[in-house]
Structure 1
Amino acid sequence: MNLDFTAILPSLPYILKGIGVTLKIVIVAGLLGFAFGIVLAIFKISKSKALNWFADAYTSIFRGTPLILQLMIIYYGLPQLIGFEIASYTAAVASFSLNSAAYISEIIRAGILAVDKGQKEAAMALGVPGERMMRDIILPQAMKNILPALMNEFITLTKESAIVTVIAVDDIMRRSYIVGGDQYRFFEPLIFAGLIYYLLVISLTMIGKVVERRLRQSD
């Protein structure tokens, strides 16, 4: 076995800088996907058939096609239509947020439908407007129920962010690959990248458990 992890020690700071790039993509895409996911979830439970159709069609398309295909269409294909190139970071955030919105919308929809109908009936009896009822009564209760599922989606997004290496984003994975190419030894830097992703996932899992515990205590 020709393994020597000490050979990549000088390159570790370079690889570690990729954590910031990865987290920046994941956080921005996660927030945008969450916001759009709420809109789609509301569309899905709306009385408007047009909104229902749009939300269902959107979800079907983005859940039914590979994420890497969506990423490459936005980065390589879209410039053909709009006439100018899209920055790799922008393409990564756009594809991840659009894809996450489809999954998050289903999670939120399920959470909204799981809220006791009595809450809605009581709000209507008190004359609470529909928009305010959704914002102040229904959504907060739904969020408590779907937090574990949302955290799982965020964790999945963190791991899947590694595919941005195909469009030359200098994230953890690409930096590890570059180090491997420079030193003609890929196993060590890629294992190190795997360790970073594993620690990120473990950290997110712990944060999710803490938040979930606090929400339960606030009930």
Structure 2
Amino acid sequence: MYLSNMWIDPERLERLMNIAESSLLPLVKGALLYTIPLAVITFIIGLAIALFTALARLSTIKTLQWVARAYVSAIRGTPLLVQLFIIFYGFPTVGITIDPFPAAIIGFSLNVGAYASEIIRAAILSIPKGQWEAAYSLGMDDVQTLRRIILPQAARVCIPPLSNTFISLVKDTSLASLILVAEMFRKAQEIAATNYEFLLLYTEAALIYWIICFVLSIVQGIIEKRFSRYVVR
């Protein structure tokens, strides 16, 4: 009965509506200025790290293989939150202080790089060896074959899993709030701390995350459909 009266009370309902309306702009601002840029920047950097790591894993140089494997194992074997805490809170104890946003970029980029490297490596390995042999027969060396023949085909294979990785990254940026990055979830926490309407603010933030990810899912479908036309069957 108490819960029923609490939610039906017109004054409380009006107060909740006012809070939701007034908090919408700060939350959207946090998403546009921090959440989305953080996801985009770290995904681009992470892809560069992933490509280098994947090629290192596939190289014949044992040292590169070992370093790449150690990196992937370390990142995949530890929680992302712990990695962020080490970078932001741990490094200052040894004299290395990094601001919140750059710390988040470093942490997320390293995390994306490790996971995406396995996607890229698997995509490269999925290309038939006959493609390499055909390129060699045309006089191409390893670098030319990789750049002109293998990577373009592997890129099409990578699109679905990498798209999913990016969507997951957008949601994972909420962890940046724990190292003081003023992204959307951090804004929700700050506003909720002033009015104690945690359920309302967190639900509002969740809806915005859902809208962003829904739009990204539509874009992903369009990209996959477009690139599927060029897949050799």
1:67 is matched with which residue? 80
**Is residue 35 from structure 1 mapped to residue 51 from structure 2 by the alignment?**
no
2:176 is matched with which residue? 164
2:10 is matched with which residue? none
TM-score, length basis structure 1: 0.96
The percentage of aligned residue pairs carrying the same residue is 37
**Is residue 7 from structure 1 mapped to residue 18 from structure 2 by the alignment?**
yes
Task: State the Cα RMSD in Å.
Answer: 1.2
Aligned residues: 218
**Is residue 192 from structure 1 mapped to residue 186 from structure 2 by the alignment?**
no
Deviates more, 1:3-12 or 1:33-42: 3-12
2:121 is matched with which residue? 109
**Is residue 45 from structure 1 mapped to residue 58 from structure 2 by the alignment?**
yes
Is the partner of 1:17 in helix, strand or coil? helix
**Is residue 16 from structure 1 mapped to residue 28 from structure 2 by the alignment?**
yes
2:51, 2:113 → 1: CA distance? Answer: 8
Report the Cα offset of residue 7 of structure 1. 3.0
Report the Cα offset of residue 218 of structure 1. 3.4
TM-score, length basis structure 2: 0.90
Task: Give the number of the structure whose alpha-carbon radius of gyration is greater.
Answer: 2
Q: Which runs of 5+ in 2 are unaligned?
A: 8-12
Segments ≥4 residues shifted beyond 3 Å: 1-5
1:121 is matched with which residue? 133
Report the Cα offset of residue 80 of structure 1. 2.5
Aligned AA for 1:30?
F
Report the Cα offset of residue 84 of structure 1. 4.3
Report the Cα offset of residue 115 of structure 1. 0.5
Q: Which runs of 5+ in 1 are unaligned?
A: none
